[in-house]
A and B are shown apart, each in its own frame.
Chain A
Amino acid sequence: EDQVTQSPEALRLQEGESSSLNCSYTVSGLRGLFWYRQDPGKGPEFLFTLYSAGEEKEKERLKATLTKKESFLHITAPKPEDSATYLCAVRIPTNSASKLTFGTGTRLQVTL
């Protein structure tokens, strides 16, 4: 069965304290891995797309990397405004098309 597992469930960092979030997957026929950010009371907001092992994408203090079994979202010198839930999703083929399957997310809190 296709699965997406994110860890840790929650992470509390001090401002400037770098860390990484993990997304591991067991998927047949992966067609892309995606990272989203979700603020409380809002819908998810797209961050990155990764398609092949070794690929990296960067945006401000965030960098996403991909291997054959997992992806990492590295947060360098985070600020309080980076506090959010970060969701990982994989695109898998279905009988009729393909669909995004989301993990349960990592709740990140960055304090002063």
Chain B
Amino acid sequence: EAGVAQSPRYKIIEKRQSVAFWCNPISGHATLYWYQQILGQGPKLLIQFQNNGVVDDSQLPKDRFSAERLKGVDSTLKIQPAKLEDSAVYLCASSLARGVGELFFGEGSRLTVL
């Protein structure tokens, strides 16, 4: 069974530039999550989708971050404009349904903002 796919694995940009990350979850998983993991910290939930609808985006900095899951499958997370403090690993995860604790994570996209 294919796992959660993410791209790109690494990205370096200047502050105020924009960046987009892509995620393809495990086939059949209805719930998709984007987490931000800053070095030395645990993952922090940014946004949760159920199919193509947003369930929770309370911790998403909406002035610069946006995310979509148009057809209820793959998803894109965008940052515009980026700040230095956005340097982190952006992890995508999926699960069969809401309310479960077993999440399947991708390998992450490491963002460095200079």
Contacts and interface: CB of A to CB of B under 8 A. Distances in A.
Indicate whether A and B interact: yes
Interface of A: 4, 31-32, 34, 41-46, 49, 87, 89, 91, 94-105
Contacts of A95: 58
B72 interface: no
Interchain residue pairs A-B with the least CB separation, the first 9: A43-B105, A102-B42, A34-B101, A46-B102, A97-B55, A32-B101, A49-B101, A104-B42, A102-B43
A77 to B, nearest CB: 26
Interface in B17-54: 40-45, 48, 50
Contacts of A103: 42
Nearest to A47: B102
Contacts of B44: 102
B91 A96 contact: no
A104 to B, nearest CB: 5
A41 B43 contact: no
Contacts of A105: 42
Contacts of A98: 98-99
B93 to A, nearest CB: 7
Nearest to A44: B105
Contacts of A4: 42
Contacts, number: 62
Contact of A43 (B42, B56, B98, B106): B106
A4 B106 CA distance: 23
Given A43-B4, A104-B40, A97 B108 contact: no
B103 interface: yes
Contacts of B99: 31, 91, 97-98
Query: Which of A45, A89, A98 has its CB near the most chain B CB atoms (within 10 A)?
Result: A98
B101 A100 contact: yes
Nearest to B105: A43
A46 B56 contact: no
B104 interface: yes
B90 to A, nearest CB: 10
A98 to B, nearest CB: 6
A99 B56 contact: yes
Contacts of A41: 107-108
